[in-house]
Chains A and B, each alone.
Chain A
Amino acid sequence: MTATFWQKVDKTGRNLAPFAVTVMMVLVGMIPLPVPGYAPVAPNLTLVSVYYWTIHRPDLMRPGVAFLIGLLQDFLIGGPLGVNALLLVVAQWAVLNQRRVFLASTFALLWVGFTLVMAGAVLLQWLAFSVLDAVTLSILPALFQGLLTVAVFPAVGWLLIRVHRAFLNG
């Protein structure tokens, strides 16, 4: 009886790993680095994490989870509410629809796939902020942020694979 209870606790804890890791990515993405011009182009680690878990454990990265994480990010970064929530929900939906393609493919293709998702995210973000601020904003910072995120994708992906193997190898 107690064994099953503790097993349940253990399993729940392990199943929370994708959520916890993604929240950590939100926070790590907000660390101020004293590098000139870094803050506007800081890589979007949250999107990498949501992308990874949607492909590998869609049962643990549901649309509702993506929405909650996006909402937390909106609260913390001080921008208009709902933008990142929308972004992550749409990204999660798009990746889930093409999940079979991603699962069967190599790492290089995963990277290409992420580039496409990031391009969509850049456009969506730019559109949302332009509409909310009622002006045409420059898309360039978002574009550079996208490029930087694509560049750090392999490193973050490797980290996520380690977490995946450590907590959810079953």
Chain B
Amino acid sequence: MKPRSSGSVIRLAAPLRALAQRFSFLLLVLASIALMMVGKIESVSVDSARARVTDAFAPILDAISRPAATAARVVESAVELENAFDENQRLKAENARLLQWKQAALRLESENNSLRSLLRVRPEPSVNYIAARVIATPGSSFVRTLVVTAGKRDGVRKGQAALAGAGLVGRVIEVGEWSSRVLLLTDINARIPVILSNTRQRSILAGDNSDQAKLLYLPPDSPIQVGERVVTSGDGGLFPPGLPVGVVTAVSERGIRVLPSADLSRVEHLRLVDFGLPSTDLDPSPDSK
């Protein structure tokens, strides 16, 4: 490849090549750092570029995540088969208990309706759900997001709440044509307006990249106890009020910790809440982030 006739060329070329290599290294390091700054300043255009890239790779991610999900389901059903009898007993007991709760709920609902009609309360806007499958997790220790298979064409909008099973999972932060990204409520950037169900104390739930989130801006001597339920407050109009979020697990000087009701580490499908408020269309605003 290189002319071997003259030794001087080689002797000259080697340091030159080394120089070029070192230069490209420095250039790329500077480019990376510049990108970090651009990402901080130009977050809106970065988000739309990110949504396009995610859209482009979503079909591949969808395809390769299916075998893993199937394998997990096979293992899980084998384990469930083993426990079927115990599980059946437990469910029967739970069903009996739930039937009593259903009676109570029906009675309260009719009572609530009649009281509302007496007071002429404006009804809450209707809520629609969009179901989506989780196709990717970041695989990084410092980012807690999920990529799901529903996008603009399915009615997903930025800021919508994501629910799975027992409670709130997070919030949509970026929407592509057929995929979108959900910021989990344990991510360090997540902030969710919540209310404590017993004390009616309003607060902000903030993640810190651990498995539990913490409550911010509470008065120092608020009478909060372990086991109290935390639900969304609906402040800001982005989330419907009353979505279950989690349970207070620790109250100490270092803060109040909340364990999310949904198991965030094994979400396979989730529901995005289309809250039908006009204010959900505040797309480019850096809402509550």
Chain A interface (Cβ within 8 Å of chain B)? Answer: 27-44, 62-64, 66-67, 70-72, 74-83, 85-86, 89-90, 93, 96, 125-126, 128-129, 132-133, 135, 137-138, 141-142, 144-145
Q: Contacts of B50 on A, CB cut-off 8 Å? A: 75, 78
Q: Contacts of A43 on B, CB cut-off 8 Å? A: 139
Tell me, rounded to whole Å, the shortest Cβ–Cβ distance linking B164 to chain A: 12
13 intermolecular pairs with C-beta atoms under 8 Å apart: A27-B57, A27-B61, A30-B61, A31-B136, A33-B68, A40-B209, A74-B35, A78-B147, A81-B39, A82-B39, A85-B35, A128-B36, A142-B141
Given A76-B53, A77-B145, A89-B32, A138 contacting B210 (CB threshold 8 A): yes
Q: Are B68 and A72 in contact (CB under 8 A)?
A: no
Number of inter-chain CB pairs below 8 Å: 160
* CB within 8 Å of A: which B63-88 residues: 64-65, 68-69, 72, 76
Q: Are A82 and B65 in contact (CB under 8 A)?
A: no
Q: Contacts of B65 on A, CB cut-off 8 Å? A: 31-32
Q: Contacts of B53 on A, CB cut-off 8 Å? A: 72, 75-76
Give the distance in Å from the alpha carbon of A54 to the alpha carbon of B41 in the complex.
Answer: 33
Q: Are B143 and A82 in contact (CB under 8 A)?
A: no
Q: Are A76 and B57 in contact (CB under 8 A)?
A: yes
Q: Are B145 and A78 in contact (CB under 8 A)?
A: yes
- The CB with the most chain A CB atoms within 10 A, among B28, B65, B144, is that of B28
Tell me, rounded to whole Å, the shortest Cβ–Cβ distance linking A129 to chain B: 4
Give the distance in Å from the alpha carbon of A76 to the alpha carbon of B209 in the complex.
Answer: 19
* CB within 8 Å of A: which B29-55 residues: 29, 31-36, 38-40, 46, 49-50, 53-54
Any A CB within 8 A of the CB of B134: yes
Q: Are B146 and A85 in contact (CB under 8 A)?
A: no
Any A CB within 8 A of the CB of B174: yes
Q: Contacts of B69 on A, CB cut-off 8 Å? A: 32, 34
Any A CB within 8 A of the CB of B122: no
Select one of A32, A89, A137 contacting B209, CB under 8 A.
Answer: A137
Q: Interface SS of chain A: helix, strand, loop or mixed?
A: helix
Q: Are A79 and B54 in contact (CB under 8 A)?
A: no
Closest to B73 in A: A34
Q: Contacts of A78 on B, CB cut-off 8 Å? A: 50, 138, 143, 145, 147, 173-174, 181, 183
Tell me, rounded to whole Å, the shortest Cβ–Cβ distance linking B192 to chain A: 18
Q: Contacts of B138 on A, CB cut-off 8 Å? A: 30, 39, 76-79
Tell me, rounded to whole Å, the shortest Cβ–Cβ distance linking A66 to chain B: 8
Q: Contacts of B127 on A, CB cut-off 8 Å? A: none
Give the distance in Å from the alpha carbon of A137 to the alpha carbon of B210 in the complex.
Answer: 10
Besides A78-B143, A86-B29, 15 other A-B contacts (C-beta < 8 A):
A32-B65, A32-B134, A34-B69, A37-B265, A39-B138, A40-B141, A63-B25, A74-B35, A78-B138, A78-B145, A78-B183, A82-B33, A82-B36, A96-B21, A132-B36
Q: Contacts of B141 on A, CB cut-off 8 Å? A: 40-41, 125, 141-142, 144-145
Any A CB within 8 A of the CB of B103: no
Q: Are B139 and A85 in contact (CB under 8 A)?
A: no
Select one of B32, B143, B267 contacting A67, CB under 8 A.
Answer: B32
- The CB with the most chain A CB atoms within 10 A, among B64, B76, B138, B267, is that of B138
Any A CB within 8 A of the CB of B211: yes
Q: Are A85 and B31 in contact (CB under 8 A)?
A: yes
Q: Are B266 and A79 in contact (CB under 8 A)?
A: no
Q: Contacts of B142 on A, CB cut-off 8 Å? A: 79, 125-126, 129, 133, 137, 141-142
* CB within 8 Å of A: which B253-278 residues: 263, 265-268
* CB within 8 Å of A: which B2-26 residues: 21, 24-25
Any A CB within 8 A of the CB of B188: yes
Q: Are B209 and A141 in contact (CB under 8 A)?
A: yes
Tell me, rounded to whole Å, the shortest Cβ–Cβ distance linking B134 to chain A: 5
Any A CB within 8 A of the CB of B168: no
- The CB with the most chain B CB atoms within 10 A, among A35, A42, A83, A142, is that of A83
